[in-house]
Amino acid sequence: MTPDAALRLAVVGHTNTGKTSLLRTLTRDPEFGEVRDNPGTTRKVQGAHLLADGQRLATLYDTPGLEDASALLDYLDTLIKPGERPDGPERLNRFLDSPESRRRFEQETRVLRQLLDSDAALYVIDARDPVLGKHRDELQLLAYAGKPLLPILNFTHTPQSRLPAWREALRRLGLHVLVEFDTIAPPLDGQSSLYERLALLLETSAHKLQALRDALRREDQRRRQDALRLIAELLIDAAAWRVHCAADQPALEAATQTLRERLRQREQRCVDALLQCHHFDSRSYPAHSLPLQGERWGMDLFHPQALKNLGIHVGKGMAAGAMTGATVDAFLAGVSLGAATLAGAAIGGLWQGADKLGKRLLGRLRGWRELSVDDSVLRLLALRQLTLLQALERRGHAAQTPIVLDAGTQAENRSAAAAPTHHSTTLSVPPNAARWQRGPLPATLLAARAQPSWSTLSSEYRSSPAREAAVQALADTLPNLDDRETDTNAVNPE
């Protein structure tokens, strides 16, 4: 390999251990290859490039699964004449020149040709499988190529994984450098750790692997900044939005419905953008119907139980009524404080804050009311998007099941739901959710309350430097509100 040539890495292993899944996750391409539970899904060699700043630093080659290494080892012995002691590569070359390489062992031939033409191999192991003789024979066969071999233990986040047995078996075979990398739920630094371990085996190419790690770090930082800005945009839009209506009950109910439906749609647009930002599609987190009652209430943005499940305090009015999530301000100069409160109580006691006369438009909107999104719903929006972001950052691109919202997950039970499973990715409350559950709202959201023109949901929307500054300021504070930080600050009690 010339100094400037891209690394060539063969991804090898037994049938159905997750080789294609590994490439999907490493390349962040959920469409690469084909992933099924059936053995032998990959029948040909496919390549995928790893880039850093537009330069191709490595190419990964997905190979078919090894199916009969034990029989092939026996066949290799028949190609050795008495008194000969050929080395590993010579043994493989003799096999590749033999007729059986094009017949009985055609599958293994594709793997070995690619391995001999590569700089190193990533040997993917399904950590749920017991260590069998066929695995040892595969490793012996691959060792004949004389290439560095990095075992990758896949599917490690399942109760069926046999990590201690595999570590011991690999140690006994002299393979002391390995990596645990679950392609369904990889650790945040999993890809970087993989390249770091590989650099120990490819010392002359360590600088390329370091360049890949640096590029990964920059890409992750950029992706996270973009995602946090998307969430900040949603929250500013929600906080600043106002819906005006007449003071009678039918008008209030209609305006409430408008507010709720438009905000649901806005949240879905944010979800779609977060999925796209992380190279997932709607199949990863499909749109849900949002009824106010029934078994799927947990997905509804305005159901009181959805707030309770994320540890958000719910007032008596919201808990008792049928329409939730709005605050009404009275702008009618001739209506007393008591009349405004009674108007709210008449529709279920849900208009939290109805006793506060709106001062911003007092005198201009005589006889009208103004609805805005309740603080508790803002908290729920923030928590739902941050937990979704957390799930996306921990989700491998080989995952086949959608992300689900665990409607029964309480804040105090989040540790039980935190461990990823092979069957689904579950949204659970971030450990530092207390700031959004009970603490004061960020100052930027409070400022947005007084700026209806900051909301893209409004016909009054106007782009302005002040709004852009508020969005960026909020995005900059969001990283301190999720589970990556240690919350040492006291929060206000409920």
CA-based R_g, the chain, Å: 29
pLDDT digits (tens, 9 = 90+) for 439-476: 888 999 999 988 999 999 998 898 999 999 999 999 99
User: What is the band of 312 on the pLDDT scale with cuts at 50, 70, 90?
Assistant: low
Q: Among 247-251, 276-280, 347-351, 366-370, which stretch is predicted with the lowest mean pLDDT?
A: 347-351
Question: Is the predicted pLDDT of residue 264 greater than 60, yes or no?
Answer: yes
Tell me how far apart the alpha carbons of residues 144 and 368 are, in angstroms, rounded to a whole number.
82
Of residues 210 and 320, the one with the higher pLDDT is: 210
Average pLDDT over residues 357-383: 68
What is the CB-side half-sphere exposure of residue 464 using CA atoms within 13 A?
14
16 to each of 19, 154, 182, 307, how far by Cα in Å?
7, 11, 14, 42
To the nearest whole percent, how much of the chain has pLDDT over 70?
72
Average pLDDT over residues 92-96: 95
Say what the pLDDT of residue 311 is.
64
Residue for token digits 């360049």? 211
**Chain centroid offset of residue 488 CA:** 26
Of residues 227 and 280, the one with the higher pLDDT is: 227
Question: Is the predicted pLDDT of residue 360 greater than 80, yes or no?
Answer: no
pTM of whole model > 0.85? no
Tell me how far apart the alpha carbons of residues 208 and 214 are, in angstroms, rounded to a whole number.
10
Say what the pLDDT of residue 384 is.
86
Say what the pLDDT of residue 300 is.
53
Tell me how far apart the alpha carbons of residues 415 and 394 are, in angstroms, rounded to a whole number.
15
What mean pLDDT is reported for the chain? 78
Say what the pLDDT of residue 396 is.
86
Q: What is the 3-state secondary structure (H, E, C) of the chain?
A: CCCCCCEEEEEEEECCCCHHHHHHHHHCCCCCCCCCCCCCCCCCCEEEEEEECCEEEEEEEECCCECCHHHHHHHHHHCCCCCCCCCHHHHHHHHHCCHHHHCCCHHHHHHHHHHHCCCEEEEEEECCCCCCHHHHHHHHHHHCCCCCEEEEEECCCCCCCCHHHHHHHHHHCCCCCCEECCCCCCCCCHHHHHHHHHHHHCHHHHHHHHHHHHHHHHHHHHHHHHHHHHHHHHHHHHHHCCEEEECCHHHHHHHHHHHHHHHHHHHHHHHHHHHHHCCCCCCCCCCCCCCCCCCCHHHCCCCHHHHHHCCCCCCHHHHHCCCCCEEEEECCCCCCHHHHHHHHHHCCCCCCCCCCECCCCCCCCCCEEEEEECHHHHHHHHHHHHHHHHHHHCCCCCCCCCEEECCCCCHHHHHHHHCCCCCCEEECCCCCCHHHHCCCCCHHHHHHHCCHHHCCCCCCCCCCHHHHHHHHHHHHHHHHHCCCCCCCCCCCCC
Domains and CATH numbers, the chain: 7-201 (3.40.50.300), 223-481 (no CATH)
Question: Is the predicted pLDDT of residue 304 greater than 70, yes or no?
Answer: no
pLDDT digits (tens, 9 = 90+) for 406-441: 544 333 333 333 333 444 555 566 666 777 888 888
Question: Is the predicted pLDDT of residue 295 greater than 90, yes or no?
Answer: no
Say what the pLDDT of residue 433 is.
73
> For residue 336, what are the contacts with CB-CB under 8 A and spacing of at least 6?
none
Range among 23-37, 197-211, 270-284 with highest mean pLDDT value? 197-211
Of residues 127 and 332, the one with the higher pLDDT is: 127
Question: Is the predicted pLDDT of residue 53 greater than 90, yes or no?
Answer: no
Question: Is the predicted pLDDT of residue 62 greater than 90, yes or no?
Answer: yes
Say what the pLDDT of residue 315 is.
58
Query: Quick one: tokens of 407?
Result: 């409607």
Say what the pLDDT of residue 291 is.
35
Say what the pLDDT of residue 273 is.
95
Say what the pLDDT of residue 158 is.
87
